[in-house]
Structure 1
Amino acid sequence: MLHTLLSINKATVRYLNTTLFTGLTFKINKGENWALIGESGSGKSALLQTIAGRFNITGGEIIYHFWDKFSSLIPADKVTNPHKLIALVEPRHHFRNLSNTTDFYYQQRYNSSDSEDALTVTDYLNAIKQIPGNKNSWTLERVTKLLRLDELLDKQIIKLSNGETKRLMIAAALLKNPVLLMLDNPLTGLDVKTREEFNGIIQQIAASGINIIMATSIHEIPTVITNVAVLSKGAIVHQSKKEDFKPELFEQDKTDTIDNGELSALLNIDKNPATYNLIVKMDKVHIQYGDKPVLDDINWQINPAERWALLGPNGAGKSTLLSLINGDNPQAYANNIILFDKKRGTGESIWDIKKKIGFVSPELHQYFPTDNSCLQVIESGYYDTLGLFRPSNKERAEIALRWMKALEIEKYARVLLKNIPASAQRLCLLARALIKNPALLIFDEPCQGMDDHQQLHFKNLVDTICSLSNVTLIYVTHYQHEIPNSVDKVLRLEKGRVAF
């Protein structure tokens, strides 16, 4: 007989003034591990947050059946409600600094004095309040080994790469010894090796008695998953055992169209684009923090209209390398670096550099303020500010809306950035990078969290932009299939050095 851990019965779920689910019914039995599948905005993340107690249940009910057992075994001062026995790993982290605030900023990781206000990995994990577990409870030693954090223990969390941060967040969730572990797109940002290891990681977690629910791609369902739920437009439209699940019935349409005429018009709004002989030239670049080299002996020349893939595992130094180009890393002044025909340190400001670059990255997404409307976020790209801090310009707002249509997100124009799906947030930041028609586009893992159609459309959009313009491109990804066809040059990093 199955033992039910949690059940949702005909629930109406609301967040602010929005109804997320109506008549939601879902049940998890002990020993079941669920994969949630669906297009962007279908409700996968909302379902996880509903279970975690983040949203209001205004009709129906959600029952945490496991609470009856655990509440009698655990002292009341240890756990006060069932949500404490649930761990949710989200796409965005909520790290606090030594001052116990979340006032991190994007460039902080590259400024040695400011980054000292961040906890180390060891400090962060030691601060996790553990829930008393069973004999197989997760300890610091055990999570460190499972998630390969040994070499990161003394590293400040603000300096972790995107993939390293994801591994740390999973470790922190395990330390709580939850009854239910929920993972929202856990594979995004992880390199090939870690993704290959993830199947074994998730198996060990399940073997310890923790039940798992994960929002994931239809193409990345771990073997430990026992059940699949498909969501569409805020409703669960299919539930089955994994062995009975037929993914071909739920794959998205592979057709896609790009309005070349409109895209050409958008790319030609600036009638007098600047021309350069060199976009980037690095000569024996070396970056070091304390006694640890991050980049060593990097030589790289990027000529106008070249399209590069920048590849390498988590922690290889890719983000640090990009920070030297984007003007965010002060150590650029101590190196021999030419950007847009000018040697760094010869009088150009950070803003002179940024106005020539369209940039998006997971870290920028993490620290971008979310209280602007999506249209304001995109218009802010003209000014290279993290949000619009001046009255909107009607002409520029109209261009921002045209870019939103090109990226198929115009329905979010008047909606606050924080109130739209994470994938749509990323697309807004991509439109922000494109809007000023920069000489250089830097796309660092731009497709994280996007569904199949969004990835295909964006890839086609990039290829079309490259065919219609002389833009230079640097593209970073851990997925080979995401690399645009227009990319024909590769720089690969391994432990801070160029790998040949």
Structure 2
Amino acid sequence: MPAPLIKISDGQIIFKGINAFSNLDFCWDSGESWAILSESGWLQTAFLETLRGNTVVKSGTVTRPFANQYLSAKRQRKEVASFRDLMAYVSQRYEFRNKFNQQNFYFQQRFNSAESEETETVEKYLSSVQSKQEGPWTLEKVLVLLNLKHLREESLLKLSNGETRRLAIAAGLMRQPDIFLMDHPTTGLDIASRAAFGEIINAIQKEGVQILITCNPQDIPLGFQKIGLLDHTGLAKVWDSSQFTLASRIEKEKDWNWALLQELLPQEKPIHETLIALQNVTISYQGKTILDAVNWELKAGERWLLKGANGSGKSTLISLLIGENPQAYSQNIWLFGRKRGTGESIWDVKKPTGFVAPELTRFFPSNQTCKKVILSGLFDTMGLFKKVSTEEEELALKWMKVFELESLANQPIHRISLDQQRWALLARALIKKPQLLILDEASQGLDLAQRKLFTNTVQKLCELSSISLIFVSHYPEDVPDAVDQIFELPSK
């Protein structure tokens, strides 16, 4: 029989002070790769953190035989060591530091060519990753495997979401792990990259690395032997990959207070018929063309899907529309009836547009609570830095009531769950009643039930208001029915 790598028996597991599992049994045998499913993304993260030793085991046992030989050798040499030395982990909250080992980035920084150079390049970042043991992974090998070779001299801040995800996986490999844990690793990857992910997994496994991932059912890559379904008891079901079908999953339905939502949404028709007009817009950085002669027009009331492969320039295009890219002044861009660069302030540009992207939460100061983040949408700032009126405070409370965030009003935004963060960001975008809402992979990283609720919510926003919409997603099933036009950027 194969030797177990990690074994959990009758575990009562506490994660972040909350009971996660009441009776968790799990045996990970050598040579097996696992895909872990759940209705709850929080449970998936709790499971991974249990494997990593970052939860409280109130009762039961967790053993990690895979590290026994390594730890024994270290003890004989009287060296400090941990089983974590042999693990790599890619979370959904990956963060990078600048050259001064600080995380004081701001959202606009990636679009300012000089300031974005404060971060390391892809090559320097990967070269700096430290490992506790020798292994097969070289810089060149991971650059090729994760399709990063053409980005080796690129600043980390200039990477797209999908490219950043591939970089995080590459950094994990540079640790030379025996065990590789990944929390929704295909999040942010385009359709082609997700399809190729099974080949990446296969190449990693061939080097003897044991892999366990969390994911949604439709994202299980080829090559995984075991599939498990978590609930609050533990592993509720286990399948061999040949036995699993998408019909095996369980989904839950949820709705908001739609009447209250409608009361808070804009109903009036915008003054300008054309909200966005781009004419031959070309954006380049250091000789590299990101957008090439782009033409696009969006009229009031229209709902568009913005498509494009990772690296096609979607984030750069959006940065022009939300006033974050200084190159907008040299381009033929009209926003809400006014050409950029004709004396408008940055606040004039931002006021009519609500914007949500999953990475936004990284850029709020640590003292910003859920309520403050929502209120900051009234002022288009990354946090609340002024006293608000009673009416504004009451408006924020109504938005928290819509998305069931009242109990989290005074919790720091970084301490609430990923799905709660997204609802807070959506409330922040909508609190000022924008004419245009831009959702850039806004449901990225959410579990199936949460993604379905997000799609339904955006559909309701369109049905109950006059709001125009730009929706970005690599998942066709996440696109609301109200989105009936497509603008696709060509691949590079």
- Fold conserved between structures, TM > 0.5: yes
Separation of aligned partners in 1, 2:391 and 2:233: 35
Partner of 1:354: 350
Structure-1-length-normalised TM-score: 0.91
Structure 1 counterpart of 2:235, one-letter code: I
Partner of 1:372: 368
Separation of aligned partners in 2, 1:42 and 1:363: 18
Could you say what the CA RMSD is over the residues aligned between the two structures, in angstroms? 2.5
Q: Is the 8 A contact 1:42 1:233 kept in 2?
A: no
Q: Is the 8 A contact 1:41 1:421 kept in 2?
A: no
Partner of 1:283: 279
The superposition leaves residues 383-406 of structure 1 with CA deviations (integer Å, 9 ceiling, x where unpaired) of 222223344655434433443444
Separation of aligned partners in 1, 2:13 and 2:367: 23
1:129 is the counterpart of 2:127? no
Separation of aligned partners in 2, 1:105 and 1:258: 33
Partner of 1:37: 37
Q: Which of 257, 261, 272 matches 1:263?
A: 261
What's the CA shift for 1:473? 0.9
* Counterparts in 2 of 1:414 and 1:103: CA distance versus 1, 3 Å: closer
Structure 2 counterpart of 1:169, one-letter code: A
* Counterparts in 2 of 1:102 and 1:257: CA distance versus 1, 3 Å: closer
Q: Which of 277, 297, 301 matches 1:305?
A: 301
Separation of aligned partners in 2, 1:248 and 1:288: 46
1:433 is the counterpart of 2:429? yes
1:106 is the counterpart of 2:107? yes
Gaps of 5+ in 2: none
Partner of 2:118: 117
Partner of 2:396: 400
Structure 2 counterpart of 1:45, one-letter code: T
Partner of 2:9: 9
Separation of aligned partners in 2, 1:76 and 1:378: 54
Partner of 1:92: 93
Partner of 2:484: 488
1:170 is the counterpart of 2:166? no
* Counterparts in 2 of 1:42 and 1:54: CA distance versus 1, 3 Å: closer
What's the CA shift for 1:8? 2.7
Q: Which of 459, 470, 473 matches 2:455?
A: 459
* Matched positions, count: 491
Separation of aligned partners in 2, 1:453 and 1:402: 24
* Counterparts in 2 of 1:130 and 1:479: CA distance versus 1, 3 Å: same
Separation of aligned partners in 2, 1:15 and 1:281: 49
Separation of aligned partners in 2, 1:102 and 1:77: 35
Q: Aligned ranges for residues 310-349 of structure 1 at < 5 Å?
A: 310-349=306-345
Structure 2 counterpart of 1:212, one-letter code: I
Q: Is the 8 A contact 2:368 2:383 kept in 1?
A: yes
* Counterparts in 2 of 1:272 and 1:213: CA distance versus 1, 3 Å: same
Q: Is the 8 A contact 2:112 2:325 kept in 1?
A: yes
* Counterparts in 2 of 1:105 and 1:77: CA distance versus 1, 3 Å: farther
What's the CA shift for 1:92? 2.1
What's the CA shift for 1:358? 0.6
Structure 1 counterpart of 2:466, one-letter code: N
What's the CA shift for 1:338? 1.2
Structure 2 counterpart of 1:66, one-letter code: F
What's the CA shift for 1:97? 1.0
Q: Is the 8 A contact 2:291 2:313 kept in 1?
A: yes
Separation of aligned partners in 1, 2:183 and 2:151: 23
The superposition leaves residues 306-351 of structure 1 with CA deviations (integer Å, 9 ceiling, x where unpaired) of 1111100000000001001101111111112111111112221212
Separation of aligned partners in 2, 1:278 and 1:333: 19
SS at match of 1:388: coil
* Counterparts in 2 of 1:415 and 1:246: CA distance versus 1, 3 Å: farther
Q: Which of 448, 464, 467 matches 1:468?
A: 464
Range with bigger deviation, 349-358 or 376-385: 376-385
SS at match of 1:53: coil
SS at match of 2:218: coil
Separation of aligned partners in 2, 1:97 and 1:445: 25
1:248 is the counterpart of 2:247? yes
SS at match of 1:384: coil
The superposition leaves residues 152-209 of structure 1 with CA deviations (integer Å, 9 ceiling, x where unpaired) of 1111111000000001111111111111101101111001110110111111212221
Partner of 1:152: 151
Separation of aligned partners in 2, 1:203 and 1:79: 33
What's the CA shift for 1:90? 0.9
Q: Is the 8 A contact 1:78 1:131 kept in 2?
A: no
Q: Is the 8 A contact 1:162 1:362 kept in 2?
A: no
Structure 2 counterpart of 1:65, one-letter code: P
What's the CA shift for 1:101? 1.3
The superposition leaves residues 119-148 of structure 1 with CA deviations (integer Å, 9 ceiling, x where unpaired) of 1111011111134345xx122121111111
Structure-2-length-normalised TM-score: 0.92
* Counterparts in 2 of 1:350 and 1:415: CA distance versus 1, 3 Å: same
Range with bigger deviation, 49-58 or 158-167: 49-58
Q: Is the 8 A contact 1:294 1:495 kept in 2?
A: no
Separation of aligned partners in 2, 1:284 and 1:81: 56
1:62 is the counterpart of 2:58? no
Range with bigger deviation, 207-216 or 406-415: 406-415
SS at match of 1:197: helix
Structure 1 counterpart of 2:157, one-letter code: I
Gaps of 5+ in 1: none
Partner of 2:181: 182
Range with bigger deviation, 158-167 or 48-57: 48-57
The superposition leaves residues 78-107 of structure 1 with CA deviations (integer Å, 9 ceiling, x where unpaired) of 972111211110112221111111221111
Q: Is the 8 A contact 1:40 1:421 kept in 2?
A: no
* Counterparts in 2 of 1:244 and 1:296: CA distance versus 1, 3 Å: closer
1:389 is the counterpart of 2:390? no
* Counterparts in 2 of 1:245 and 1:293: CA distance versus 1, 3 Å: closer
Range with bigger deviation, 413-422 or 450-459: 413-422
Structure 1 counterpart of 2:320, one-letter code: L
* Counterparts in 2 of 1:412 and 1:213: CA distance versus 1, 3 Å: farther
Separation of aligned partners in 1, 2:37 and 2:331: 47
